[in-house]
Structure 1
Amino acid sequence: MSLEITTRNDVPADVAYEEIFVTWLPTEGKEAVLAKCAELHAKGLKPVPHIAAFKVKDAADAHAIAAAVRPLTRKVFLIRGNTHQEGAFATVDELVATGAFAGFEIGVGGFPEGNSPLTFEQGIDILRRKTAYASFVVTQWSLDEAAIARFLDASPLPVHLGVPNRCSLKQLARFAAVCGIENSVRGMLSNPKNIARFVFGFDPGYIVKAFQGHPRLARFHVYAFGNFAPL
């Protein structure tokens, strides 16, 4: 399993997850991501930076970022970004075309519940094209087991399946709103059976159990939300 944090999280060196993905927050510059990756590397952990195409200024900036992270990791997670375009790149494809991340193991994003305005099928088609340079896909977290199964069955890349770490139901609802899947989670929590299941808080163990044997599953990717405990 891998763990996803923000630059504001202080991860102990003895965390159970060796590989730590570092989110590039919309309000932060690249310096925050690079500093957190250096900090994790110094602790003996393996950082994997998010590189948001929307936030990279130009080809020179892309090469500078790659040069900064190369001593720390040879694995990166390339995303478009969820804010407005700030630089020269509108897509991950354009960022990759600079050649800055040649020699890195590249991950890209996937969305079991869809990524509006794209249909599910369009999202899978985009992933098929990205197999030219990507070696794995990291998904947005979901609690919709049917959507997860459909995505795993269709993915052209090995899947790092996103799951939220243990948290309260209030926290779960707040995280869902931040990630844009609040309607899905609200619907799930409207079912009395699910309320009973999570009466003492949300635990992703049932998702792990349901999908751990799927042939397209490479690993589980745990969204920490401040909780660094192992699943």
Structure 2
Amino acid sequence: MARSNLAFQPREGDMVSTSLINNYSIEITAKDAAALTEARDLIAPGTQVSVTFLPGEEMPARVAAAKQVKALGFVPVSHISARRIKSEAELEQFLDALVSEAEITNVFVVAGDPDKPEGPYNDALAVIQSGLLEKYGIRKVGISGYPEGHPQIGMPQLWKALTDKQAILQEKGLDFDVTTQFAFDADPVVRWIEDVRAAGVHAPLRVGIPGPASVKTLMRFAARCGVGTSTKVMAKYGLSIGKLLSNAGPDSLVRDLETAIDPARHGDVRLHFYPFGGLAKTGEWIREYSK
């Protein structure tokens, strides 16, 4: 799909949206369960908390983390990395444990990083098409979005994957939302949102936001994920290559998004936080920004 060349510009007199910071979601790894317990008072009750599927972590640890999320009064959303699942039996075992022990009803399905699948699932669509999600009572599926593209996947393929997933999820009667890779610049995000809506995808969108962290940490994650970090973007976000150990937060990015996004035009858009600088630091930032 062709992308717009113009960033959305709010009309004079438009009301600034204040809903983005409401109903936000946040991400943890299986190792972050203890940190989540310590930061529980900084995160709104009922917040959707995603538990990632990282290499080197065992299934029981991922299930235990999801169970802890549930026990703390949040909504656990377990990631499924399709190419890291070694067999259909392994996926069934994982889903069964998530549902029986953590009362999971939401998952987030992504292809994953391996160049070649370790089992029968080549991508997220293969997991969705398997029929196993609904077999185990999953009612909502998160899928990924890439406003600035993917370092290994072309934009036409990304657009096809998005619309194909929507088609099969709707066919199966499963609810879904789209969570994006994190960004430093609102302009490509807003253009992408407009293109998503033009493509007929009207599901809730969760825009990836990097939580406050050192400039060095943010740059490391950006390089790993292929996120745009031109000098102009860095300055706009508040990053300085000469101050690698200083901290930077997403204040300007969130303000730009709130100004640009009009619910009547862009639909249901929320924020999804990647707590690169730690859960407590991200939780404190959200609490202060929300005041």
TM-score by length of 2: 0.71
Specify which of 96, 111, 123 is matched with residue 80 of structure 1: 111
List per-residue Cα deviations over 1:202-228 (Å, max 9, x = no partner): 221222222233423431000012133
Long gaps (5+) in structure 1: none
SS at match of 1:49: strand
CA contact (8 A) 1:48 1:77 kept: yes
Q: 2:229 is matched with which residue: 176, 185, 191?
A: 185
Code of the residue aligned with 1:99 in structure 2: it is G
Q: Which runs of 4+ in 1 moved over 6 A?
A: none
Q: 1 CA distance for matches of 2:209 and 2:126?
A: 29
In structure 1, the residue matched to 2:5 is none
User: What CA deviation, in whole Å up to 9, does each residue of 1:29-59 have, x standing for no partner?
Assistant: 3222112111222222221111111111222
Q: What's the counterpart of residue 145 of structure 1? A: 186
Tell me: CA distance 1:28–1:188, structure 2 relative to 1, closer, same or farther (3 Å).
farther
Instruction: Give the number of aligned pairs.
Output: 228
The partner residue of 1:58 within 61, 64, 87 is: 87
CA drift at 1:60: 2.3
What is the rounded CA distance, in whole Å, between the counterparts of 1:193 and 1:140 in structure 2?
A: 16
Distance 2:41 2:231 in 1: 37
Deviations 1:75-132 (A, max 9, x none): 1100010124211111112112221111420011111110133333431221011112
Is the counterpart of residue 204 in structure 1 residue 250 in structure 2?
Answer: yes
Q: Indicate the structure with greater helix content.
A: 2
Where does 1:120-135 land on structure 2 (aligned, <5 Å)?
A: 120-132=155-167, 133=169, 135=176
Residues 125 and 16 of structure 1, relative CA distance in 2, 3 Å threshold: same
- Supply the RMSD in Å over aligned alpha carbons: 2.4
For 1:109, the equivalent position in structure 2 comes to 144
Asked if residue 159 in structure 1 is aligned to residue 205 in structure 2, the reply is: yes
Distance 1:150 1:193, change over 3 A: closer
Matched, 1:34 2:85: no
The question of whether the paired residues in 2 share the 8 Å contact of 1:173 and 1:186 is answered with no
Kindly indicate whether residue 50 of structure 2 is the aligned counterpart of residue 6 of structure 1.
no
Q: Distance in 1 between matches of 2:237 and 2:61?
A: 42
Alpha-carbon distance, 1:189 to partner: 5.9
Name the aligned partner's letter for residue 154 of structure 1: D
Cα separation, partners in 2 of 1:206 and 1:100, compared to 1, 3 Å: same
Report the CA distance between 1:23 and its aligned residue.
1.0
- State the distance in 2 between where 1:81 and 1:61 align: 16
Query: Which residue identity lines up with residue 80 of structure 1 in the other structure?
Result: A
What are structure 2's unaligned runs of at least 5 residues? 1-23, 170-174, 287-291
Which whole-Å CA distance do the structure 1 matches of 2:98 and 2:279 have between them?
25
Does 1 or 2 have the higher relative contact order (CA < 8 Å, sep 6+)?
2
Give the whole-Å Cα distance in 2 for the aligned partners of 1:68 and 1:53.
17
Counterpart code for 1:34: V
Q: Greater CA radius of gyration, 1 or 2?
A: 2
**How many percent of aligned residue pairs carry the same amino acid?**
27
